[in-house]
Amino acid sequence: MIKFDEINNTGIITLQRPKALNALNLEMIIDIKEKLIFWKSKDSIHKILIKSEGKAFCAGGDIKAICLADTTSNLREDFFKEEYKLNNMIFSYPKIITSIWDGIVMGGGVGISLYGKNRIITEKTMLGMPESAIGFIPDVGSSYILSRMEDSVGLYLGLTGYVLNHFETYKLKLGNYFILNKNIKNFEYEYIYNNSSIEDHQNQITETESNIINNSKLIEKHFCSFDIEEIFKSLKSEKNSFTNETINHLINRCPTSLALTCKMFDKAKKLNFRQCLEMDFYLSQLMIQRDDFNNGVTEVLINKKKNTKWNPSSTVNINKKINNYLTFDINELDMIIEKQ
């Protein structure tokens, strides 16, 4: 499922699970973590390249396997604990990590790449955090980045699960280099064998039509509150195609996921990256025990339907119902990540 190579001072990680869109399972996460630990102390390895086979870089964690796992197993706890440890390692890794986003990048795929120094976009890049569709929350530390984005765009992405195209990903500075898909193989060869710089292989990116960029002022206006009830109220106060479309999209997402995403992003603004991961773990263990998570994964990912029944079914007065989720003191959580 993963191929590891060492060529000319480069440690290469190739995700090889294309039929599953390179979704990460627990074994893959542990293997990557252990290899990065090994390469960290190996003087002959100067940089890391993460790439994939198939049409996806990595579509996320193998959430279906987690949902279908025997409830007596520790998979639901172990998966997220090991995943977040890996995310933290990548965030603070002392060697250059370069990822090639040639295709779908979602959820856990964001977590193993966004925090490296170089994120290469191609015209096939599609990036998003779609967790609210399955009764979960944007995790892998994404709240640290998204809560700090300008004009409330990050909160919009976390709530709606909007999938960014290559131009949007570049424009919002989530990726920092653009290389055409047809030129990727040549870039890989030159980068690995001749230590060529990424700058030498960049292509000109063409501006494309973007719903999110065209409506940035409306996003800033309506998503400025970290309160889902206020966001709905604001959206309903203005009638136009964007607000109508956004409302119709949000009402199909899990209400608890929406409300909790707002509150966790508000907290994340005051936390460091490691603390965001600790918060993610604490909240993940609450969310995956809810019927909304089991129903969301079953309907959306397994049955491929979009008619999930949520409980509660709307965001009306929902803040009162989730207050107990946010009463934790970040400094009193059982830490899963050792302080660096």
For the chain, state the CA radius of gyration. 20
| φ, ψ (nearest 5 deg) of residue 94 | -80, -10
What's the pLDDT band for 11 if we cut at 50, 70, 90?
very high
What's the pLDDT band for 40 if we cut at 50, 70, 90?
very high
For residues 329 and 337, give the distance between their C-alpha atoms in angstroms, rounded to a whole number. Answer: 16
What's the pLDDT band for 336 if we cut at 50, 70, 90?
confident
Q: What is the mean pLDDT of residues 312-333?
A: 91
State yes or no: pLDDT of 25 exceeds 90.
yes
Question: For residues 71 and 11, which has the higher predicted lDDT (pLDDT)?
Answer: 11
| pLDDT tens, position by position, 120-158 | 999 999 999 999 999 999 999 999 999 999 999 999 999
List the Cα angle 85/104/164 in 5-degree steps.
Answer: 100
- What percent of the chain stands above pLDDT 70? 99
Q: Catalytic residues, which ones? A: 61, 108, 131, 139
- What percent of the chain stands above pLDDT 90? 90
| pLDDT tens, position by position, 79-92 | 999 999 999 999 99
**pLDDT at residue 69 in the model:** 81
State yes or no: pLDDT of 337 exceeds 90.
no
State yes or no: pLDDT of 340 exceeds 80.
no
What's the pLDDT band for 289 if we cut at 50, 70, 90?
very high
State yes or no: pLDDT of 72 exceeds 90.
no
**233: Cβ contacts below 8 Å, ≥ 6 apart:** none
Of the candidate ranges 101-105, 260-264, 297-301, the one whose mean pLDDT is the lowest: 297-301
Domain residue spans of the chain: 2-128+166-201, 211-332
Please state, rounded to an integer, the average pLDDT across all residues of the chain.
Answer: 95
**pLDDT at residue 339 in the model:** 59
CB 38 within 8 Å of CB 3: no
| pLDDT tens, position by position, 163-197 | 999 999 999 999 999 999 999 999 999 999 999 99
**pLDDT at residue 207 in the model:** 92
The class that CATH gives domain 2-128+166-201 is: alpha beta
| pLDDT tens, position by position, 224-241 | 999 999 999 999 999 999
